[in-house]
Amino acid sequence: MNPFAYSRPADLDGALQQIAANAGDSNENGSDNTANQHEVRFIAGGTNLLDLLKEGVQAAPRLVDINRLPFDQIEETPDGGLLLGALARNADTAYHPLVKERYPLLADAILAGASPQLRNMASNGGNLLQRTRCYYFYDVATPCNKRTPGSGCSAIGGVTRQHAILGTSEHCIATHPSDMCVALAALEAVVHVQSVRGKREIAFADFHRLPGDRPDRDTTLAADELITHIALPPATQFAGHSAYLKLRERLSYAFALSSVAAALDMGEDGSIRAARIAVGGVAHKPWRKPEAEALLAGERPSDELFGRVADALLAGAVGRGANDFKIPLARNAIVRALQVAVHGTVKNWSATPDDTEQGETP
Ligand SMILES: Cc1cc2nc3c(=O)[nH]c(=O)nc-3n(C[C@H](O)[C@H](O)[C@H](O)COP(=O)(O)OP(=O)(O)OC[C@H]3O[C@@H](n4cnc5c(N)ncnc54)[C@H](O)[C@@H]3O)c2cc1C
Ligand code: SF4
């Protein structure tokens, strides 16, 4: 690993000023917070960033450790929603009583990711900004437009088993790897960010980007912006009928080949009032299509209807050989997640974090 300067500011102003002083022209160029060649970066849990620095995938001559900033709480909002601190750990978020009660979909998605040790370190803000798991992105001996803009995409024509089937470009076919983000997309979270230029809020659907001709930019966050919170709007109507289904190469400690966050608002007569569905592992960002969700409104659940919804969500999907299987896999996953959600939320966590979790061997 290359040498780097390290600081651990005690307050927000200090952190923002340090990043602003070193982000330089990056903001004016529209460069995002995760782009590869910044002078300075925030570090939270370090579970992704340290690997990238050690492998030489990213450079960071200066690291600003944000772990002393006061963003590690989970608070109720007056409207019945929650404000998740960007520095609250993934494990503390998943096991928080109000998250389990109001947003079981989110708790379930977080617990489907990584391992207990990683979730204890990983922060909510860092989870949103984790980089793709494309093998070529991590292999600095191969061309990769995301790592080195303009160098080419080794995945196109290469090994594509993990790669995207939707929203790709001729420059990049990578997927976003997060589980948490799939649930946050379905729950229509809002990302609160701050820089020396002020505060702003970014709707979750606008936070991650499709690759287009700038695959080096994962998000719409500017280089000098800090995520402070993730706001969850009230969603109690979905709490009783939600499901996170993750399909992967093995039962734990693997990234999704395809995952589905499904949330249904069920009427007392058994019909569906409203639905939210986000699909992971298939695109550069969690994949949603409100027009596909609208097909469910006012309808009674059926496998035939769920199949039509899945087809609408996956319209335009294209495989590249080794990932062709993802199209039927994602279709089946969407249908299955909806079937499970109709019957009620399965709470895959135990009473305490020490107990056995879904897919993990005791
Ligand atoms: C072996 C392994 C398996 C994994 N499996 C899964 C999985 O199955 N599912 C899954 O979803 N994830 C998985 N992960 C990824 C893990 O969830 C992420 O590494 C973690 O969430 C990142 O959080 P962090 O706090 O450690 O981020 P860091 O590594 O500290 O930071 C990541 C990026 O975010 C930036 N950053 C961090 N916080 C902020 C902030 N508040 N504002 C602005 N920028 C910020 C950093 O500058 C950096 O660019 C796995 C990771 C590993 C190592
Ligand atoms: S798919 Fe994207 S991340 Fe992977 S090699 Fe191509 S440009 Fe790089």
DSSP states of 191-212: EEEEETTEEEEEEHHHHB---T
Paired tokens of 110? 């977080």
The pLDDT of residue 238: 98
Range of the domain at 262: 241-343
Residue 296, phi-psi category: left (phi > 0), alpha (psi -120 to 50), beta (remainder): alpha
Is 54 a member of any domain?
no
- 89 CA to middle of ligand 1, Å? 10
| Among candidate residues 106, 253, 120, 233, the one with its CA nearest the CA of residue 177 | 253
- 44 CA to middle of ligand 1, Å? 8
Smallest CA separation from ligand 1 atom 31, residue: 126
The distance between the two most distant Cα atoms of the chain, rounded to a whole number of Å, is 63
Smallest CA separation from ligand 2 atom 2, residue: 172
Is 267 a member of any domain?
yes
Ligand 2 binding pocket includes 134 (Cβ within 6 Å): yes
User: For 223-249, how does the pLDDT look when each residue is reduced to its tens digit (9 = 90+)?
Assistant: 999 999 999 999 999 999 999 999 999
pLDDT band at 349 (very low <50, low <70, confident <90, very high): low
Number of domains in the chain: 1
> Quick check: 327 pLDDT over 60?
yes
pTM assigned to the model: 0.95
Smallest CA separation from ligand 1 atom 13, residue: 114
Ligand 2 binding pocket includes 132 (Cβ within 6 Å): yes
Q: CA-to-CA distance for 181 and 160, rounded, in angstroms? A: 22
pLDDT band at 292 (very low <50, low <70, confident <90, very high): very high
Ligand 2 binding pocket includes 164 (Cβ within 6 Å): no
CATH number of the domain that residue 305 is part of = 3.30.390.50
The pLDDT of residue 89: 98
Paired tokens of 353? 């974090």
Which atom in ligand 1 lies closest to the alpha carbon of residue 193?
42
Is 179 a member of any domain?
no
Cβ < 6 Å from ligand 1: which residues? 33-34, 41-49, 66, 86, 90, 113-114, 118, 121-123, 125-127, 129-130, 177-180, 226-227, 255
The pLDDT of residue 271: 98
Is 290 a member of any domain?
yes
Q: CA-to-CA distance for 36 and 26, rounded, in angstroms? A: 11
Ligand 1 binding pocket mutation candidate from 4, 127, 146 (most atoms within 8 A of CB):
127
- 173 CA to middle of ligand 2, Å? 6
DSSP H stretches of helix in the chain: 12-23, 49-54, 90-94, 97-102, 104-111, 116-121, 124-128, 135-138, 180-186, 204-207, 236-239, 290-294, 303-313, 326-343
Is 55 a member of any domain?
no
- 130 CA to middle of ligand 1, Å? 4
DSSP string, 327-356: HHHHHHHHHHHHHHHHH-------SSTTS-
User: For 125-158, how does the pLDDT look when each residue is reduced to its tens digit (9 = 90+)?
Assistant: 999 999 999 999 999 999 999 999 999 999 999 9
